Structure 1
């Protein structure tokens, strides 16, 4: 590929953003040849398009003894090109079950998101050889369709900010030729030659051999990865249809809706459902346990399967993903609005409900008072909150999260479920929680 072709490729790749009037970009600059070439291309593009805003950011993990030198190199490069520069310092704390590489990657994305120029799209320098290495690493791990699709060109961060990889179809050798043609200095990370790391071994030994043996291997592998991504996107569309037809208002999964699906279709929709709540997918053994217990256990059986950051439980024919929520507003006095510790907001509304409190009555909210008694409107007799929850088929793990409104020590409303018949007033008040 000619050096000018890389420039045209990047320009074409960014057309999607230009059409949306997005001209603000931040280059994630490491000092390596890929990100440095990307920065130079954006600098050239800015000369052609003056309204383009280009900045750069270096994330300093402190994992290499040369990290500060690389930071200084990146800063000097940006001064030379008259490009605004920022740096982010991150600390990586060793964690069990998570590789140092994965921790550094997550810390990097978090820092890029927080400290890149406001409203900018983050540009990442990964190229086609990075993509092939990622594919082979995931092949080694036994990944499925989604994993073998490797890196997506576009990635949305948790904040909604977009990351984009405009060099993903460009080979490392083409990028290096660009750097040579324009006499562009860059950093070579000494750790990239350590073949104890799987990616470095693939980079140094495997991919070059394949490219030498099979003409056009890199481009063909890239096309195969794109096809895998397209097939995953199609599967995702059908999965979302299945999922939308199987959820209730609390995002619980209806067992009777999926029970007649094929085994692979059930597995697929359960994975998609879990992804609504967690980024840590269960092992194949745990997933099989969830599905087998959901479908084969007796209707009244209590199911509790512990995962990394929550539990899967079954209630009234639905699967629920349950996490422990910290609600400590217990017995707190309220007037018109109260924000709970789990982010929900309790607000007072006017209308059919309970009478307004008398002057000598304090209004408070409490949680998990199962023994408190109330006679709900249009229900027979007075009984405990525990009894009425069971009567209303409220899942046991949801009951402690339901706000209970008291006038002094008298329960007058179970928010979202019951109001006290004794306190009923057509022109009264009621509390709702959202």
Structure 2
């Protein structure tokens, strides 16, 4: 049995969603799962077939999958992909992205997604990684199990050669559909399979086995490297995910690139490219004039403030917005998912420095929240100017966050930046004050 490891590794797992294409690999995987199910009644199997609608035989493959699932009393989901002629990913790339989206849409919370990738697919991936200029992670190939956007993906046949799979299918008299598109060498994978690897396997019969060993060695090297990278990140990342550059600068360039790549991947669902890494390294980290520079990557930005770099998702500009807080004793919800302001009534206690403690508003004062104040704010009542920029710098607030912090005004008089600083403090003898706490995901 090719899939024995699956149940040894996940002995308590009950629910599986099988990606069923109708080809020999997925048909064999289905029958081996059903064989195990006879002995382990608690196992629940569903299948999902994705029709790519590329060729005339696509519907035939769909019907075959539906019939076999009906015969075996397996619930099957059928979904479709319609590939635009002009898309930036190509047929293979677009299909891969959409397949993962469909799996995510249909999979249950407790299910593991099973795909029928085999050892030959693994070897093909190595050559495709060479074409894409991948690093160790790409060359180490597909993992037996991995996570994608919260989906657990397991590949039970990844260590099984295609020859063995076909041999087992013939021995059991299984029926499968030969995908006619596999003969079209305009697709990279088919070109490799038909024109390159077929000759390599013939010339060097042990090539597939040795190729697998090399990929396993690379995977171990990557695992070791990741251990040290993650240890470094653990020691140098702040609670908001920003990365300190104080110890980072003492490392070699190669180590810096590896750490940056891992830091990117922790923050983004999209894999970072060498181009983005290089720009971040050159323009943000090793550039004395990094002020106001940013690298835009997948609707996010990489910015720097002092000796820290940030991976941020920019907010819409709300610096002209004013929110009137008519009942200051009640919770106020802020726009743009910036959180809430929670007021606390005064309590008799010893006077001490407290950024949340604010003078209670006098009667007939218009309490309002704003998100912008001029660099040189002028307090008309006291006829003096305050350099707000210096205050932001004092409290180490990055420029791109300054217009997202709620500023409390009484009429047009600035009282405080909630949770950061207070312009007008409560007098020592006064017991009349209010405390306002800002619950947010920024500070």
Shorter-chain TM-score tier:
0.7 to 0.9
- SS class of match (1:126): coil
Report the CA distance between 1:285 and its aligned residue.
Answer: 5.0
Q: CA deviation at 1:137?
A: 0.9
Q: 1:366 aligns with which of 354, 361, 370?
A: 370
**Deviation at residue 16 of structure 1 after TM alignment:** 1.7
Q: Does 2:358 match 1:354?
A: yes
The yes-or-no answer on 1:336 pairing with 2:331 is: yes
Corresponding residue to 2:339 among 338, 345, 363: 345
Q: Would the aligned equivalents of 2:57 and 2:180 in 1 still touch at CA under 8 Å?
A: no
Q: Report the 3-state secondary structure (helix = DSSP H, G, I; strand = E; otherwise coil) of the residue aligned with 2:435.
A: strand
Q: Under a length normalisation based on structure 1, what TM-score does the superposition of the two structures give?
A: 0.86
Matched, 1:129 2:120: yes
- CA deviation vs aligned residue, 1:205-234 (integer Å, no higher than 9, x gap): 322222222233222212221221121111
CA contact (8 A) 1:374 1:411 kept: no
Q: Is 1:187 paired with 2:181? A: no
Offset, 1:188: 1.4
- CA offsets per residue over residues 244-282 of structure 1, 9 Å max, x none? 223234333222211111121111112222223335555
**Deviations 1:292-312 (Å, cap 9, x if unpaired)?**
344543377554344454333
Q: Counterpart of 2:353?
A: none
How many angstroms does 1:36 deviate by? 1.3
Determine the C-alpha separation between the residues in 2 that align with 1:410 and 1:95: 57
**What is the root-mean-square deviation in Å for CA atoms of aligned residues?**
3.0
For residue 68 of structure 1, what is the aligned residue in structure 2? 59
CA 1:322–1:94: 2 relative to 1, 3 Å: farther
Normalised by the length of structure 2, the TM-score is 0.84
Residue 205 of structure 2 is aligned to residue 211 of structure 1: no
Q: Distance in 2 between matches of 1:14 and 1:332?
A: 58
Greater alpha carbon shift after TM alignment, 331-340 vs 76-85:
331-340
| SS at structure 1 position matched to 2:267 | coil
SS in 1 for 2:110: coil
Please give the alpha-carbon distance, in whole angstroms, between the structure 1 residues aligned to 2:26 and 2:368.
Answer: 57
2:392 to 376, 380, 389: 389
What is the match of residue 46 of structure 2? Answer: 55
Matches within 5 A, 1:91-102: 91-93=82-84, 97-102=88-93
Partner Cα separation in structure 2 for residue 372 and residue 361 of structure 1: 23
Distance 1:45 1:283, change over 3 A: closer
Choose 173-182 or 393-402, whichever is displaced more: 393-402
C-alpha deviation, 1:144, in angstroms: 1.4
State the shift of 1:195 in Å.
1.0
User: Match for residue 378 of structure 1?
Assistant: none
Aligned to 2:7: 14
**What do residues 320-378 of structure 1 show as CA deviations (whole Å, max 9, x unaligned)?**
2343223769434564152643x442240537522555675565543234469598xxx
Cα separation, partners in 2 of 1:168 and 1:155, compared to 1, 3 Å: same
CA–CA distance in 2 between the matches of 1:35 and 1:359? 74
| Cα separation, partners in 2 of 1:84 and 1:308, compared to 1, 3 Å | closer
Q: 1:37 to 1:303 in 2, by over 3 A?
A: same
Matches of 2:85 and 2:234, distance apart in 1: 39
**Using a 3 Å threshold, how does the CA distance of structure 1 residues 395 and 180 change in structure 2: closer, same or farther?**
same
Q: Please identify, of 353-362 and 166-175, the stretch whose mean Cα deviation from structure 2 is larger.
A: 353-362
Length, aligned pairs only = 419
1:405–1:307 distance in 2 versus 1, CA, 3 Å: same
Determine the C-alpha separation between the residues in 1 that align with 2:185 and 2:405.
56
Aligned residue among 393, 399, 403 for 2:402:
399
Shift of 1:139: 1.7
Query: Would the aligned equivalents of 1:278 and 1:309 in 2 still touch at CA under 8 Å?
Result: no
Unaligned runs of 5+ in 1: 1-6, 376-380
Q: Work out the CA distance in 1 between the residues paired with 2:407 and 2:371.
A: 6
- The reply on whether 1:157 has 2:148 as its aligned counterpart is yes
Give a deviation string over 1:39-64, Cα, whole Å, max 9, x none.
11111111110011111111233333
Q: Displacement of 1:67 after TM fit?
A: 3.1
Aligned to 1:198: 188
- Whether contact under 8 Å (2:323, 2:369) holds in the other structure is yes
